[in-house]
A and B are shown apart, each in its own frame.
Chain A
């Protein structure tokens, strides 16, 4: 049992959340789960709206949390996340551009919007990583400043796109930028799953490499790892994941900050445990946040991105300011 530590608990809690969340909120009883009726509003709410939304939230949360975990390993810093590094913004720009140009069509099963979001994420990672490497040390300050710069750049480009769009597109982009999981049907969760599941699998196979990245580049090289190649592969994989999630749900912030950090406190830094814990926790976390966002002020729904940012902002400040032991300093 010691070998797996808290992981079974993570799995149980995550499954429980997944099972319970679609039933929370009015209009749905257990009856429709086991005896769904065609054309029955309650059945349709459960099967067409609630369940897909919860599944999407779970997959998106798991993907964003895992992306944060990978960035934290590469930058050796627990403040590195898709959101703070500007990678979400890059993906948003790509997606907004796709929306504005009204590009349709599919390529290998992905919409142009998915693909342009992935490209945007990749460009943002390249930019922010290049900026950090310009200074030879990768301090928290350098990394956050590079992230802020990239965020500004992409935010202004997104504004430019919005400005040039008509009322309808502007609102659509704005609403989507707030982050939300309101999708009808199973196509959205499936599209997210098709990317997040294989990427998570490859990340699991790369646990050793992720561990070595966290102990530092020079030491990792001396242990026999081809650091540059591993890093490129990881950047690519995470861009795919962030790109597809952001293009579906918008840039939901701070999931990638809070979840890996909390999991690290519970299961430790070894990625063989940290990755499954982060996936399970991240999925459950976003589902809980979304369930709260849609029920707390019912009948009004909050976009879940606003909700996670309200939680994440203070958490970020706490991480930045907490008194640190010598070895765990974020700075």
Chain B
């Protein structure tokens, strides 16, 4: 039996004495699809960054595919976990899309920067899967937000990692690109068997992803459960401290949320 992708036991993290995450415990099975939801400042992105060692000094214990996280070298960690950061950190230098995706191969490069022998094939496959093969020679700064997001996903795919951590993957995208990115992520989950954990502040995105949900509130765990149960009475109000109305999608029968306007 496959060990779980992530076993997080009482993970806590603070910056300059201010507690950001408190006692997070969750087990994420291999091949599952998770959404981490919560209000702004709930600690969602920070949790991802702790797991990636961008914030190295948390306390607690994390097992990644059955092995203690501390036992992974930075390179070995990158072969297991890939990251798609929140959109917005602009790229200032004129790398081409293909060059950028190929940087996902760093963890496989040998001493003296020699390339791994299947680098080219892996990069091409990643670009194919993220549907960006046709603009490989364009530079990053000429891309739209939606195209850019697919490039970042392709770069993460090139890492051939079994766990994909994404920070607001669809937050600033138009509807077509939202649908396309969701479809690509679903495919990665289905075909590649990768475990997917996506941070989002959008409840409907979590419901439509239809996996499991970890809800954070001010650095604490507020709730864990299947996405469909998010719409049970009082649950979202408790997580987000605001009221919601529910509407039913006439086609799928899934219940989605509409935020209540202020003053109502």
Contact = CB atoms under 8 A, between A and B. Distances in A.
B94 A218 contact: no
Given A224-B74, A270-B99, A326 B90 contact: yes
Contacts of B89: 216, 218-219
Interface string A196-215: 00000000011111011011
A212 B54 contact: no
A27 interface: no
Contacts of B113: 205-209, 272
B104 interface: yes
A330 B90 CA distance: 11
A206 B96 CA distance: 19
A328 B53 contact: no
B77 A219 contact: no
Interface in A91-132: none
A183 interface: no
Nearest to B109: A208
B135 interface: no
Interface stretch (B33-41, B79-87, B196-204, B251-259): B79-87
A327 interface: yes
Contacts of A226: 74
Most-contacted residue by chain B among A205, A214, A268, A270 (CB, 10 A): A270
Nearest to B165: A222
Contact residue range for chain B? Answer: 35 or more
B140 interface: yes
A224 B141 contact: no
Contact of A328 (B78, B94, B109): B94
Contacts of B54: 217-218, 221-222
Contacts of A326: 90, 141
A330 B141 CA distance: 13
A268 B77 contact: no
A329 B74 contact: no
A225 B90 contact: no
B74 A327 contact: no
B141 A325 contact: yes
A77 B92 contact: yes
A223 interface: yes
A269 B99 contact: yes
Most-contacted residue by chain B among A206, A214, A223, A272 (CB, 10 A): A223
Contact of B99 (A76, A268, A329): A268
Interface residues of A, number: 34
A139 to B, nearest CB: 12
Contacts of A265: 94
B64 to A, nearest CB: 14
Interface string A309-331: 00000000000000001111110
Contacts of A209: 113
A278 interface: no
A225 B74 contact: yes
B58 interface: no
A215 B94 contact: no
Contacts of B228: none
Contacts of A208: 103, 106, 109, 113
Interface in B99-135: 99-100, 103-104, 106-107, 109, 112-113
Contacts of A224: 74-79, 106-107, 159
A269 B94 contact: yes
Contact of A225 (B81, B92, B106, B142): B106
A78 interface: yes
A223 B141 contact: no
Interface of A: 76-78, 205-209, 211-212, 214-219, 221-226, 264-265, 268-270, 272, 325-330
26 contacts: A77-B92, A78-B92, A78-B93, A207-B113, A208-B103, A208-B113, A211-B95, A214-B95, A215-B91, A215-B95, A216-B85, A217-B54, A218-B52, A219-B83, A221-B53, A222-B81, A222-B82, A222-B83, A223-B159, A224-B78, A268-B95, A268-B99, A268-B139, A270-B96, A272-B113, A327-B90
Of all A-B residue pairs in the complex, the 6 with the closest CB atoms, nearest first, are: A327-B141, A224-B78, A224-B107, A222-B83, A269-B93, A224-B75
Given A226-B74, A268-B94, 5 more contacts: A218-B49, A222-B83, A223-B103, A223-B107, A269-B99
